[in-house]
Structure 1
Amino acid sequence: MFVEGLSKENSNLEGIIDSYKRYKGREFENSRLISISCLANPNKDMNILDVGCGRGELSYTLSKSGAHVTGIDDSSSAIKTAKAKYLANSSMKNLEFIQDNFLNHKFNKKI
């Protein structure tokens, strides 16, 4: 997780977009996303559901802990972007993205 350089400016939408572009969606520097990741306190024995995962930045970061993470979003374009960014050419077996109603699944934590 990228923490250096956090600033007040990173808390706005423009900062999130800049961070996404700068790190090509693979890391984030937005303090809100970092806080959520810390609160989830993921570990390899967890199944985590990221509701409204969007392009998958948080799901990807949580999965780096070894937890099985499922990112769910209603937007087919967001899921397509997340799959292309994090699953294409990847051997990650603990990360998946689906377009579905989150109420159809059971997880340890819902973020």
Structure 2
Amino acid sequence: MTPDHAALQLWPVAASVKAVETDELILAFTVLTLALTVPVFVAITWFALRYREGSEADRSPSGIRSNLIEISWMLIPFLLTLVFFVWGARVFVESKNPPPMPWWSR
């Protein structure tokens, strides 16, 4: 089986001009979603095991608080998803508006 074999293709052959860019948008958004959710689930699992009830752990408040961390962990994912929104909106608008007619066919 060669790398170009049909069984190894993620999507079928592009049926329109915008299909390739749409496929790239979907793939990139899937990667972003995984990049944002996998660390959260890993952290949940880690903290659930590390600080489960009955284990020896110091559970008193540490008093350490960083506004920079609080703002960055909310702002970075927001900006990344905003980039994808703009990209998707551009692809949508371009797919709904036909290209201008050439001057010779008017």
The two structures share one fold, judged by TM-score above 0.5: no
More strand by share: 1
Bigger CA radius of gyration: 2
Q: Give the alignment's TM-score, normalised by structure 2.
A: 0.19
Q: Which has more helix, going by share of residues?
A: 2
